[in-house]
Amino acid sequence: MPTVRAATVRDGEVAVEEHPDPEPGAGELLVRVCAAGLNGADMLQRRGRYPAPPGSPPDILGLELAGEVAARGPGAERFSEGDRVMAVVGGGGQAELCVVHERAAMPVPEALDWLPAGGAPEVFATADDALFSQAGLEPGERLLVHGGAGGVGTAAVQLGRAAGARVTATVRREEARPAVEGLGATAAIDPDGFADHGPFDVVLELVGAPNFPANFDALATGGRIVVIGVGGGPKLESFNLLGLMGRRARVMGSTLRARPLEEKAMVTRCVERRVLPLLASGAIEVPVAETFGLDRVAEAYERFEAGGKLGKVVLEVG
C-alpha cells in the first residue's frame, strides 16, 4: 500500500510517521503539499484540547497548506492537475499528500512562493472573516489588533490598513514593534495600558479573557469586539451588561475549523475576492519567521511555542 509521511501526534508529541495515501472523494482534490503553516490550533490539538472535526484525520496535524493538484476525485472540475492551490483544511495539512474539497481551495497567486503560500490561508481567512464579514470594519475606523506580531495579527494589521482603517497593534516585544508598524500599524504599543490609546471601533481579540475588561473600556460607541483566540484564558469573572447597552456595542466570537463546507466555501470566496489581489500585487505579504523541513517538525513546534516571532513558522514539505 502506498504511504505518505506526515506530522503525527501521539501522546502529546509530534513526529513524522507513515500513513496510507489519502484518496479524493466526490468534488475533492488530492494535493501534493509543498508547504504548510503552523497555527495555534495545532498546538491545542497536540495537547488533546482541539480535536479535528469529523472527516479530517484525527492524528495528522495541519490546518493550512499550499501545493499542486496531483489528482481529482469524481466531479471535481474547478482545478486541473498541476494547478497551484492553497487551502484551509480541518486537519491533515502537514503531510506529503492531503485531500481538499475543491470549493475550499483557492489559486496561489503567481507572485507567491511556496513557503509564504503555505503560511497564508488560515491567517488571512481568519483575519478577513473576523474584520469584514463579522465586524464590518469600514474605511476610517479605528482598529485594535491584539498580538500584532503573530500570524493572524500581521495579517489583520495589513488588511486593516489596506481597507483604510487606522490600526493600532499590541506587541509584547519592543524590538518587534517597528516591523509591525512597517506592515501598516499606525502604532505598535505595549499591551499594558492599551485602553489609553482608544477609543476603537473594532477590537480583534486573540488573547482572551485577561484583555476583556480593558477592551470594553477602550471601545467606542457602536464598537465591536471579535474574539478569535483565548490562549490567555476563556472565562470572564464578571461582565457589566449596562455598559454594553450604553455603548450600543457588540461582542462576537468566530472560529473557522468546525464550520460546514458551505460556510467554509463562502469564506474562501471572500478571501479570493478581497485578499488574493492584494497578495498578487505585493500590497500585503506573508511574513515568515522561520522554516523547517518536515523531518524537523518537532523543532518547528518547539519554535512556535517559544514565541517571540514575527509572522509564521512554516514547514517545507515537498
- Please state the domain extents for the chain: 3-120+274-316, 124-253
256 falls in which pLDDT band (50, 70, 90)?
confident
Q: How far is CA 183 from CA 30, 155, 175, 180, 186, in A?
A: 34, 9, 14, 5, 9
Q: How far apart are CA 18 and CA 127, in angstroms?
A: 33
Strands 84-88, 64-72: pairing is antiparallel
What pLDDT does 182 receive? 98
Instruction: Give Rg (Cα) of the chain.
Output: 19
Average pLDDT for the chain: 95
What pLDDT does 255 receive? 87
Task: Please state the pTM of the whole predicted model.
Answer: 0.95
241 falls in which pLDDT band (50, 70, 90)?
confident
259, pLDDT greater than 80: yes
What are the tens digits of pLDDT across the range 141-184? 999 999 999 999 999 999 999 999 999 999 999 999 999 999 99
Cell of 89: 483544511
Residue appearing with cell numbers 501545493: 67
Q: At the top level of CATH, which class does the domain 3-120+274-316 belong to? A: alpha beta
Enter the DSSP assignment of 54. T
Percentage with pLDDT > 90 across the chain = 83
258, pLDDT greater than 90: no
* Maximum separation of any 2 CA atoms in the chain, in Å: 64
- CB-count burial class (<10 Å; 0-12, 13-18, 19+) for 274: middle
What pLDDT does 212 receive? 85
Cell of 46: 497536540
Q: How far apart are CA 65 and CA 37, in angstroms?
A: 7
272 falls in which pLDDT band (50, 70, 90)?
very high
What pLDDT does 208 receive? 79
- Kindly tell me the number of DSSP H helices and DSSP E strands found in the chain: 10, 15
Q: How far apart are CA 186 and CA 200, in angstroms?
A: 13
In CATH, the number for domain 124-253 is 3.40.50.720
Enter the DSSP assignment of 16. E
Q: How far apart are CA 17 and CA 7, in angstroms?
A: 7
H/E stretch holding 160: helix 151-162
Determine the average pLDDT of the residues in 270-275. Answer: 98
312 falls in which pLDDT band (50, 70, 90)?
very high
Q: How far apart are CA 117 and CA 107, in angstroms?
A: 10
What pLDDT does 234 receive? 79
| Three-state helix/strand/coil letters over 68-118 | EEEEECCCCCCCCCCCEEEEECCCCCCECEEEEEHHHEEECCCCCCHHHHH
**How many CB atoms are located within 10 Å of the residue 91 CB?**
24
> CA end-to-end span of the chain, whole Å?
21
What pLDDT does 91 receive? 96
231, pLDDT greater than 80: no
